[in-house]
Amino acid sequence: MSLTFDACGGANGSLVDVALLDTLRRESIPATLFLNERWVRDNRQLTRVLASDPLFQIGNHGTRHVPLSVNGRAVDGVTGTTNAHEVVKEILHNQHTLVDLTGTQPQWFRSGTGYYDDVAIEIAAQLGFGLAGWTVDADSGATTTPHQIADAMVDAPDGAIVRLRMDHPFGGTGAGLKTAIPRLRERGAYFTHLPQPSFP
């Protein structure tokens, strides 16, 4: 399975779950970290450190953390990008920041809310980005208990992309991860980065 961790930035998402990152390192679990530009600007040094660690694959989690749309469609109360130019900017502004700061070129993009309309999907593909959905939203945005999070991870199907948050140190995600790892290992699970994106 692939564990993916979102760092969403903004008022409710600019912190760092240091204990969670330590767990991944101690257990040598490769993970994909989707970093939003607002989070990156608040955590520049850490962004460099994470990107230089081969355990971590860096993904692009958007510039303003909004749904990717060409007509401003709102999802979960968040207004989306309103035209193609804004779609491109939502992807590339953060991309340039990540490249400048870390020298790594993320190949995967995940929008805030995970919404994309058909045109936005086309634009992202033309820019060469894979769009990273998920199979299991294991911590519901860091709102559930460690026990629920661990169960969601352990119940994930083979090959699952599991979404979690890495910006809620006071939530249950870190503890849930810690509980899930031995249970997953017992079941023979192993962890991989997302593969190279491919386009039809």
Which residues contact Zn ion (rule: CB under 5 A)?
Answer: 6, 8, 112
Question: Which C-beta is closer to Zn ion: that of 27 or that of 140?
Answer: 140
What is the nearest approach in angstroms of Zn ion to the Cβ of residue 31?
A: 15
Question: Which C-beta is closer to Zn ion: that of 76 or that of 103?
Answer: 76
What is the nearest approach in angstroms of Zn ion to the Cβ of residue 94?
A: 12
The answer to whether 48 and 102 have CB atoms below 8 angstroms apart is yes
What is the nearest approach in angstroms of Zn ion to the Cβ of residue 164?
A: 11
What is the nearest approach in angstroms of Zn ion to the Cβ of residue 8?
A: 3
Task: Tell me the residue number closest to Zn ion, measured at CB.
Answer: 8
What is the nearest approach in angstroms of Zn ion to the Cβ of residue 187?
A: 28
Q: How much of the chain is helix, strand and coil, in % rounded to 5?
A: 40, 15, 45
Question: Which C-beta is closer to Zn ion: that of 4 or that of 179?
Answer: 4
The answer to whether 39 and 13 have CB atoms below 8 angstroms apart is yes
Beta strands in the chain (DSSP E): 2-7, 31-35, 56-60, 74-75, 78-79, 108-109, 130-131, 136-137, 161-165
Question: Which C-beta is closer to Zn ion: that of 6 or that of 37?
Answer: 6
The answer to whether 59 and 4 have CB atoms below 8 angstroms apart is yes
Closest to 105 measured CA to CA, from 39, 51, 62: 51
